[in-house]
Amino acid sequence: MEVKNAIEKRRSIRKYSKETVSEKVINEIVEAGRLAPSGCNAQPWKFYIVNNKPVVEKLREKKVFRQDFVYSAPVIIVCCGDTNAYIGKYGGEYQVEEGSVPNDEKARKELFSILEEKKLLRTVRDVSIASAFMVLKATEMGLGTSFIGLVNESALREVLCIPVGFIIPFVLIAGYSCGNIPQRPRKSLKEIMCKVK
Ligand SMILES: Cc1cc2nc3c(=O)[nH]c(=O)nc-3n(C[C@H](O)[C@H](O)[C@H](O)COP(=O)(O)O)c2cc1C
């Protein structure tokens, strides 16, 4: 499937068939996230895969999700970001090509402190990009997905023992869709595009 088709075909799916998703397919989806770009190549993401009943029941018990359909999704991918992943990356082993940061020491320091200040935003950004790659990969493989932002973060953190310093911007659910969903409305290109003259 071409990227264009995956983009056009994707819908948020809230009803899944009972068919399970194989480990191989799950790995391929996460592999698409692994290859995504990230600031300073910090790769701050961590994806917790939940596809076993007792854990799902624990999530239900702790009321982690407000929407019932989430518990019946065959796979729940908890998308996390380590806000400390950037530490030591500036100028370090992941620092990119020559000329990508200023040579001047003062300007460098200033740049790195700006980057440090924005670590939360940067982490959310990187996790979002990787997750979008994963969603398109899942679509290509015939799966339905949905982002889930309505999450009781502290309860989820507790159930999965997610470390301090990790944020959970959202969860992704995936599985085989029960039916076709028409495209949901979008603003026109005219409304979202501003041609600077
Ligand atoms: C970051 C994010 C969080 C979302 N959270 C939820 C959610 O908690 N529950 C839900 O049912 N849908 C959620 N959605 C799905 C949106 O409602 C959906 O993307 C939007 O209505 C457009 O529909 P479409 O994805 O089918 O094009 C979320 C989407 C995004 C991108």
| CA 19–ligand 1 middle distance (angstroms) | 22
Pocket perturbation via mutation, ligand 1, pick of 11, 14, 124, 147 by most ligand atoms within 8 A of CB:
147
Kindly tell me if the per-residue pLDDT of 94 is higher than 50: no
Q: Whose CA is nearest to atom 22 of ligand 1?
A: 184
With contact defined as beta carbons under 8 Å apart, do 79 and 49 qualify?
A: no
| CA 148–ligand 1 middle distance (angstroms) | 6
Instruction: Please give the C-alpha separations between residue 175 and each of 98, 144, 189, in angstroms, as whole numbers.
Output: 43, 6, 31
pLDDT in tens, 145-157: 999 999 999 999 9
Q: Whose CA is nearest to atom 28 of ligand 1?
A: 147
**Rg for the chain, CA atoms, rounded:** 19
Instruction: DSSP for 77-94, please give it.
Output: EEEEEETTTTTTTTTSTT
Least confidently predicted of 37-51, 79-93, 151-165, 178-192: 79-93
Pocket perturbation via mutation, ligand 1, pick of 9, 10, 12 by most ligand atoms within 8 A of CB:
12
Other Cβ atoms within 10 Å of 176 Cβ, number: 16
Other Cβ atoms within 10 Å of 118 Cβ, number: 13
With contact defined as beta carbons under 8 Å apart, do 79 and 168 qualify?
A: yes
Pocket around ligand 1 at a 6 A CB cut-off: 11-12, 14, 67, 146-150, 170, 184
| CA 152–ligand 1 middle distance (angstroms) | 16
| Atom in ligand 1 nearest the alpha carbon of residue 151 | 8
With contact defined as beta carbons under 8 Å apart, do 59 and 114 qualify?
A: no
For domain 3-192, say whether CATH 3.40.109.10 is its number: yes
Q: What average pLDDT does this structure show over 120-138?
A: 97
For 174, phi and psi rounded to 5 degrees?
-150, 155
| CA 123–ligand 1 middle distance (angstroms) | 20
| Atom in ligand 1 nearest the alpha carbon of residue 66 | 8
Kindly tell me if the per-residue pLDDT of 109 is higher than 90: no
| CA 89–ligand 1 middle distance (angstroms) | 33
pTM: 0.92
Q: What average pLDDT does this structure show over 56-80?
A: 98
Model confidence at 98, in pLDDT bands (50, 70, 90)? low
pLDDT in tens, 111-123: 777 777 788 999 9
Domain boundaries, the chain: 3-192
| CA 112–ligand 1 middle distance (angstroms) | 34
